[in-house]
Chain A
Amino acid sequence: MGRVRVQSEDFDPATELAGFGAEGDVGAIVTFSGIVRGTGGLSRMEIEHYPGMTQSAIEKIVAEAERRWALDDCLVIHRHGEMVPGERIMMVATASRHRQDAFAAAEFLMDYLKSRAPFWKKEFGPDGAAWVAAKDSDEAALTRWSASEG
């Protein structure tokens, strides 16, 4: 039911959300967009991914979100390739009867996309290029979901 798209092209959230959550008795839609920050003089970012795995890994995360919460609709779009500050990296949208489910599912999706979807960010700034390191807090964010089963 949930839809997943992995692409290099930019996208327009308004277009993507047209008709989103139109089916079912939807009372709440939550959307999140991730944007490239220009912090520290960052000039561009490159996102590498694992083409054979990315789509299926995200689909599994979406399926798990749908198992845990009553979602009427779910959309994940994640870009790869080169981006400059201000550009959209990804978006998540969830639709549910109640806002609690829509918010929780969106947060769950974000936490898992961060450390379980095969993307790697490389930042280019005044001091050269550097791979973004995963943070301990990214893993910690996942344990809270295993602690509270749904």
Chain B
Amino acid sequence: MIDVLYFAWVRERIGEPRERIETEARTVAELVEELRGRELRYQLAFEDLSALRCALDQELADFDAPLDGVREVAFFPPMTGG
């Protein structure tokens, strides 16, 4: 089981801020592929990966990063702090 968090417009498109997912995905990209296959709202949220960033256990990561031992995955658009 893995916690998946969504922020900003990704959260709005998915319709919830977090969920627990049972997955066999080995990488973030595989998880994205799996989610895309679920429902239209996931397809819309993950339409363009170049517009998305992800974090594994609160650390920024690449989409090809492995999910081994990861407890929390977060998806969000590029950050706009400051």
Contact B76 A120 (CB under 8 A): yes
Contact A115 B81 (CB under 8 A): yes
> Complex: how many Å from CA A78 to CA B80?
12
Type the 1/0 row for B1-38, where 1 means its CB is closer than 8 Å to any CB of A. 00001011101000000000000000000000000000
Does B60 sit at the interface, judged by CB under 8 A? yes
- Chain B nearest CB: distance from A65 CB in Å? 14
Type the 1/0 row for B65-82, where 1 means its CB is closer than 8 Å to any CB of A. 000000010101111111
Contact A116 B58 (CB under 8 A): no
Tally of B interface residues using CB under 8 Å? 18
Of B5, B7, B11, B78, which is in contact with the most chain A CB atoms at under 10 Å from its CB? Answer: B78
Tally of A interface residues using CB under 8 Å? 26
Known interface pairs A56-B58, A116-B60, A120-B76. Does A78 touch B81 (Cβ–Cβ under 8 Å)?
yes
Contact A114 B58 (CB under 8 A): no
Contact A48 B7 (CB under 8 A): yes
Does A113 sit at the interface, judged by CB under 8 A? yes
Q: Using Cβ atoms and an 8 Å threshold, which residues of chain B touch A52?
A: 58, 72
Contact A116 B79 (CB under 8 A): yes
Which residue from B11, B59, B72, B82 sits with its C-beta under 8 Å from A34?
B82
